[in-house]
Structure formats: structure tokens, C-alpha cells
Chain A
Amino acid sequence: MSIDGELVVFIICGGLSVIGALGMVLSRKAVHSALFIAMVMINLAILYIANSAPFLGMVQIIVYTGAVMMLFLFVLMVVGVDSSDSLIETIRGQRLFGILFGVALAILLIGGIGSSLGDKPDIGLKAANDEFGGNVEGIANLIFSDYLFAFQATAALLITAGLGAVILTHREAWKPKASQKELSVARFMVGAGHPGNKPNPGVYARHNAVNTPAILPDGSLALDSVPEPVRSRDDSLIVDHRAVSTVVELVESEDQN
């Protein structure tokens, strides 16, 4: 077990990737586990480079960490960030048996592989890499000779992936996008509500927050000035400042609760 550069790299990157993998499985927030697995992937890329596979290491970072994990983050940030796990277990004791199975799998594999591959010679890729002038050229030669069919099959696979994703998520707009002319016509149609732009929230009021309705010249509140999303949420959000004599009272009352 000679202490050489590669062993140091293996210990650091291997340890970090195991920590990352555990972090990914155990972390509460989904985005944290996405970050942990991105860390695992970068460490694996370094291990590939240590195994004289520089092209594969770069591809791992560009395709896997750069694109696949980016898709995960996009979906996580907009979909399931706060959907934490429901703790009810549909199968009794699923958590316990899951962990037991995982540990048993690890022991089985390491035992099996350890005994069978113990004395495998480490030929190393020096010769293979230089045969065609470098790692990338070697891979290119292989792709375009032995693995040509797989290469074209991945193209077909990507067609189905692309089409499937677009069909699943992209909803065809029922009516074509309304042009500027149609929008203005619809705005002035009868019953379409307030054609002009509404008074800004907080105008003449003592507070410039968005949920403070403007006060009309005759003293009553202009509810239209509160933007629709705030109004649709619940009426308790709309703060009427006319009754409160000073803003300080309001701020302190909010500090208490």
C-alpha cells in the first residue's frame, strides 16, 4: 500500500463522495440533496481523471453536473422544494428493512468482488491511450467502429426523450396568443371592469405597502388599487390605515404578534 499521489486523491475524493451520497439520502430539503449529489458527481469526475480518463471526467461535469443536475434544480425550485416527505409508511417497517437490505447488498458485493478479483493485474491505459494519439481520439475511434450502432441508437433514444418531454409538459395554447389589438378591444368591452389603470396602492395612505388600498378623494377605500393576487388570497391581508392614528402603533402591534 504505497502512499502515492493517487491514494491521497482516492481517499479525499472517495470520502467526500460517500459523505455526499449519505447527505443526499438523509437531508431534509430536496435542494440540499441535489447539492450533495452534485458534489458526489464532481468528486467522481476527479476519480475518473485519476483513472486516466480525462475526457470522461470532463463529460461527467459538463453533461451530468452541468445539465442533468441543472434540470433537477430547475424542477426542484419550481415544484417540490417544500414538499417534505410524508412520514406515514405504506409498508410497515419499510425504513428499517430498506436500510438492512442496503447494508446486506454492500457486504455481499464487496465480499464477492474482493475474493474473485483480488489478484487482477493493473495493466493501466498508457498504451491504449497513446495508440490513437490520445484518450479522446481513442474513444472516437471506438465509437465510430465497434459502438457505431449504439451511437445511432442513442440518437433515436434522444428523439423519443425529447418528444416525450414536450408532449408531457407543453400544453398547446387553446386560442392563439391575443394580439395587442384584441387585448385593448377586450379591455373596453362592457362589464370588463375598470378600463383605465387603477390608482397605485398606498397613494394618499400612510403606508406604502402593496396591501394598503389607496383612499379615494371622498375618504373611502379604493379596493381596486390592491393588486388582484393579494386580494384573492384573503381579505385579512388588506390593511386599512384610516383608523390607525399613527404608523408607529401599527408597526409595534405587528411586532407583538
Chain B
Amino acid sequence: MNVYTPILVLGILAFGFAVFSIVIASFTGPKRYNRAKYAAYECGIEPTPQPMGGGRFPVKFYLTAMMFIIFDIELVFLYPWAVSADALGAFGLIAIFLFLINLCLPYAFEWRRGGLEWD
């Protein structure tokens, strides 16, 4: 019984509860077919399969996710340092300081180029 089996037990419990309640819904609920009900919510017209936004690519989502990856990597490097900061002392501080300054450059560049503004 190592440290991780309780997580498995809670996971099975939660997964079972979620699947059980979703499967029940299809039996307990009534079934009344009505064409309008099953149409997707598009203010009343059939959505022709168009590329979303008419082919224009909302680049803001891509840029946010990209910036998230860069900061995620920064985060993941910060944690080992933070945990053993006392052992690493001043040397560790300078190394992390340089690392963070380096990672602020793409952030500053995107800020300046307006990648962070949502219109």
C-alpha cells in the first residue's frame, strides 16, 4: 500500500460517480423528439460548416497558449530552485536571476508588440 494507491481509490470513486450519474440521466429523463431542440444554438439558422470566424484565425488564443508554455517552463524550473534555495545560496540566486531575466525578454517583446491585448 504505497503513497499513491489512495489517489487511485478516490479516482475510481469519483469516476464511478460521474459515469454513473451521466448514464442514469439517459434513463430517467423523458425523450420527446423535436427538431428545433436538437439544432445547435445558432439563432435559428443551420450553421454551414464554415471555418470558424470565416477563415480568419484568432491568433490571440495561440499567443496566450504560447506565452503560457513559456511561463510554465519558467515555473517548473523555479520549483526545484525554491525548494533547495537554502542549499544553493547566493550562487543559485544569481543563476535563477539570469534565467528569469532571459525569460522576461519574450514576455516584454510580446507586450510591446501588443500580443497581450485582447481586442
Contact = CB atoms under 8 A, between A and B. Distances in A.
Touching in the complex, A and B, CB below 8 A? yes
Interface of A: 5, 49, 55, 59, 62-63, 66-68, 70-71, 74-75, 77-79, 82, 132-134, 136-137, 139-141, 143-144, 148, 151-152, 154-156, 158-159, 161-163, 165-166, 169-173, 177, 202, 207-212, 229-230, 233, 237, 251, 255
Contacts of B42: 210
Contact of A162 (B4, B72, B99, B107): B107
Q: Which 5 A-B pairs have the closest CB atoms?
A: A162-B106, A209-B44, A140-B80, A155-B102, A210-B43
Given A71-B62, A144-B92, A5 B70 contact: no
B84 A132 contact: yes
16 contacts: A62-B76, A67-B68, A78-B53, A140-B87, A143-B80, A148-B95, A152-B98, A152-B99, A155-B102, A158-B102, A159-B103, A162-B110, A163-B105, A165-B63, A166-B110, A171-B59
B109 interface: yes
Contact of B80 (A55, A67, A161, A163): A55
Given A63-B73, A210-B44, 5 more contacts: A67-B72, A143-B81, A202-B44, A210-B42, A255-B35
A62 B72 CA distance: 8
A66 to B, nearest CB: 7
Nearest to B98: A152
B59 to A, nearest CB: 5
Given A78-B52, A172-B113, A159 B76 contact: no
B98 to A, nearest CB: 6
B80 A136 contact: yes
B83 to A, nearest CB: 5
B113 A140 contact: no
B65 interface: yes
Interface in B27-41: 35
B113 A74 contact: no
Interface residues of B, number: 55
A58 to B, nearest CB: 9
A124 to B, nearest CB: 14
Contacts of B87: 132, 137, 140-141
Contact of B69 (A71, A132, A209, A251): A71
Contacts of A230: 45
Contact of A140 (B45, B57, B72, B83): B83
B6 interface: no
Contact of B79 (A136, A152, A207): A136
A170 B63 contact: yes
B66 interface: yes
Contacts of A166: 63, 66, 106, 109-110, 113, 115
A149 to B, nearest CB: 11
Contacts of A151: 77, 95, 99
Most-contacted residue by chain B among A55, A169, A210 (CB, 10 A): A169
